[in-house]
């Protein structure tokens, strides 16, 4: 691949997070309010003069604002959707201005349970209020206001990120032209909630949890977080993908007749758990799984998803993956049915991929070609051309240094 060929997909290169402070209180669905907060975000590409080419990329459970590119001082820290976003990639940053943020309640720089509560000077901990997908979308709308983005060309996400894209079409129907809803569900099933509950129980019963105020004790509930990550991780993979990757391969070639690591898959899970628990905040994990549980736009309409989506005006691309058992294709078809009932523009693709829920993060040529074609049409629609003289966001946040862990996945 010739790096000088500008038409070949390449990385957005070195990127840097910025932060913006918000002084006006935000009232949350649960009744509580947060008086002031900061959001950490990254942007790629240039906002065009008409401000029509902005795309918001929403993160799922354990990712954040570092969506594409790498950090100059940490080249191995590559954005979690780098294969999707960049010059010449399906979401082409030569045409679109892409925004990724760390949601409120997160642990990668935006205000969350580990941030100091301005009233006490101590970390919020257990006093940080439960946030919902609707709350996140409201906060994202404030960020859009400050950046001078009246209407997104698209809001895009996978899994929980897709739920945010869907919520945008309901909460702010006139502020979103396209919703890319990938590996989604319109609400969690009892089984989905059950897995989240096991993860939360693992965390809250860890002796180091201290009711959520572990920061003061100088400890973190590592054991709980590790188990939460293991159970979550298994739900992101398919049986076939795990069998393909690990089979029943033994670490030392023979059974040990002990309860330490025998199988490769055990070693892998432990490694993932160690990595995750070293950078992710346990309270944020509780908050995000709760936001997943509570997401149910149909609930306010007597369970009628079509009624919930009646307000939507966006066009939709809905994508599911056949081996995803966490949010199976049937769940995406519920969304498609509700959109059809409202005669909304919708395209639905069911990608025959073996990787399970995580497939949305992987590079599959059919999936990426589809997203690319969809964005090419959207680019024409909003006049997002290569080489647009360009405008700039209304407001540029301040540069900030934050840890984002690494190898962020679903």
Partner 1 sequence: MTGEARISLSGRPDFEAIAAWVAPEATVLDLGCGDGLLLKFLAASRAVKGYGIEIADENVLACVTHGVNVIQGDLERGLQGFDAGSFDYVILSQTLQAMRHTEEIVLEMLRVGRQAIVTFPNFGHWQARWQVAFGGRMPVSKTLPYEWYDTPNVHLCTIGDFERFCADHSIRILERVVLHAGQRVAFLPNLLGSLAVFRFEKRH
* Of 151 and 337, CB closest to partner 1: 337
Does residue 373 interact with partner 1 by CB under 8 A?
Answer: yes
* Of 80 and 316, CB closest to partner 1: 316
Do residues 37 and 110 lie in contact, with contact meaning Cβ atoms separated by under 8 Å? yes
SS (H, E, C) 97-153: EEEEECCCCCCCCCCCCCCECCCCCCECHHHCCCCCHHHHHHHHHHHHHHHCCCCEE
- Number of chain residues interacting with partner 1 (CB under 8 A): 22
Q: Alpha helix locations (H) across 247-391?
A: 264-279, 282-294, 305-308, 329-341, 365-382
- Provide, rounded to whole angstroms, the least separation between the CB of residue 333 and partner 1: 6
Beta pairing, strands 37-44 & 18-22 = antiparallel
Do residues 257 and 206 lie in contact, with contact meaning Cβ atoms separated by under 8 Å? no
Does residue 181 interact with partner 1 by CB under 8 A?
Answer: no
- Provide, rounded to whole angstroms, the least separation between the CB of residue 277 and partner 1: 39
- Provide, rounded to whole angstroms, the least separation between the CB of residue 328 and partner 1: 14
Query: Which residues lie below 8 Å from residue 193, measured CB to CB, with a gap of 6+?
Result: 293
**Cα angle: 306, vertex 183, 272; to 5 degrees:** 145
Which of 149, 374, 384, 405 lies at the binding interface for partner 1 (CB under 8 A)? 374
Query: Which residues lie below 8 Å from residue 213, measured CB to CB, with a gap of 6+?
Result: 123, 125, 126
Does residue 366 interact with partner 1 by CB under 8 A?
Answer: yes
Does residue 376 interact with partner 1 by CB under 8 A?
Answer: yes
Does residue 271 interact with partner 1 by CB under 8 A?
Answer: no
* Of 346 and 361, CB closest to partner 1: 346
The region of 165-173, 207-215, 276-284, 330-338 touching partner 1 under the rule CB under 8 A is 330-338
Does residue 379 interact with partner 1 by CB under 8 A?
Answer: no
Query: Which residues lie below 8 Å from residue 113, measured CB to CB, with a gap of 6+?
Result: 105, 107, 123, 124, 125, 126, 128, 212, 281, 283, 284, 287
* Of 117 and 347, CB closest to partner 1: 347
- Provide, rounded to whole angstroms, the least separation between the CB of residue 53 and partner 1: 18
- Distance separating alpha carbons of residues 108 and 80, to the nearest angstrom: 14
* Of 271 and 366, CB closest to partner 1: 366
| Beta-carbon-side half-sphere exposure of residue 155 (alpha carbons within 13 Å) | 30
* Of 35 and 363, CB closest to partner 1: 363
- Provide, rounded to whole angstroms, the least separation between the CB of residue 169 and partner 1: 16
Residues with catalytic roles: 159, 324, 357
Query: Residue written as tokens 């960049």?
Result: 86
- Provide, rounded to whole angstroms, the least separation between the CB of residue 158 and partner 1: 17
Site string for partner 1, 331-360 (x = CB under 8 A): --x--xx--xx-x-xxxxxxxx--------
- Provide, rounded to whole angstroms, the least separation between the CB of residue 351 and partner 1: 8
* Of 130 and 349, CB closest to partner 1: 349
Closest C-alpha to 280, from 327, 225, 240: 225
Closest C-alpha to 140, from 104, 115, 113, 106: 104
DSSP-derived secondary structure letter, 198: H
Which tokens in the block code for residue 381? 């629609």
**Cα angle: 112, vertex 118, 120; to 5 degrees:** 105
Site string for partner 1, 246-265 (x = CB under 8 A): --------------------
CB atoms within 10 A of CB 358: 23
Which of 309, 370, 379, 384 lies at the binding interface for partner 1 (CB under 8 A)? 370
Task: Kindly list the residues in this chain that would bind partner 1 in the complex (CB under 8 A).
Answer: 317, 333, 336-337, 340-341, 343, 345-352, 366, 369-370, 373-374, 376-377
């Amino acid at each position: 691949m010739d790096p000088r060929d500008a038409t070949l997909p390449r990385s957005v290169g070195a990127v840097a997070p910025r932060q913006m402070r918000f002084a006006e209180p935000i009232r949350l669905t649960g009744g509580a309010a947060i008086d002031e907060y900061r959001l950490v975000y990254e942007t790629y590409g240039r906002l065009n003069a008409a401000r029509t080419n902005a795309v918001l990329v929403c993160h799922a459970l354990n990712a954040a604002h570092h969506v594409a590119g790498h950090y100059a001082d940490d080249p191995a820290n590559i954005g979690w959707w780098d294969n999707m976003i960049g010059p010449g990639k399906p979401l082409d940053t030569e045409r679109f201005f892409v925004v990724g943020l760390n949601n409120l309640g997160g642990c990668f720089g935006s205000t969350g349970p580990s941030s100091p509560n301005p009233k006490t000077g101590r970390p919020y901990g257990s006093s940080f209020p439960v946030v919902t997908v609707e709350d996140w979308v409201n906060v994202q709308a404030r960020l859009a206001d400050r950046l001078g983005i009246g209407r997104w060309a698209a809001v895009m996400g996978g899994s929980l990120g897709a739920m945010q894209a869907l919520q945008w079409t309901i909460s702010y129907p006139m502020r979103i032209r396209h919703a890319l809803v990938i590996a989604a569900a319109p609400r969690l099933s009892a089984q989905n909630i059950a897995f989240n509950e096991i993860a939360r129980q693992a965390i809250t019963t860890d002796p180091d949890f201290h009711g959520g105020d572990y920061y003061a004790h100088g400890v973190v509930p590592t054991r709980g977080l590790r188990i939460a990550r293991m159970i979550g991780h298994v739900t992101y993979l398919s049986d076939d993908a795990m069998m393909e990757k690990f089979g029943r391969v033994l670490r030392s070639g023979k059974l040990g007749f002990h309860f330490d690591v025998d199988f490769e898959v055990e070693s892998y899970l432990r490694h993932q758990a160690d990595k995750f628990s070293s950078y992710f905040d346990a309270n944020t994990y509780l908050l995000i799984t709760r936001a997943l549980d509570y997401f149910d736009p149909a609930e306010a309409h007597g369970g009628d998803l079509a009624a919930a989506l009646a307000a939507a005006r966006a066009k939709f691309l809905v994508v599911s993956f056949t081996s995803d058992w966490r949010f199976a294709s049937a769940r995406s078809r519920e969304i498609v049915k509700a959109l059809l009932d409202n005669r909304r523009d919708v395209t639905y693709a069911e990608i025959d991929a073996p990787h399970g829920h995580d497939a949305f993060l992987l590079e599959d040529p059919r999936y990426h070609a589809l997203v690319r074609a969809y964005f090419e049409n959207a680019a024409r629609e909003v006049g997002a051309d290569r080489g647009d003289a360009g405008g700039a966001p209304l407001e540029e946040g301040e540069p900030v240094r934050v840890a984002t862990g690494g190898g962020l996945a679903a």
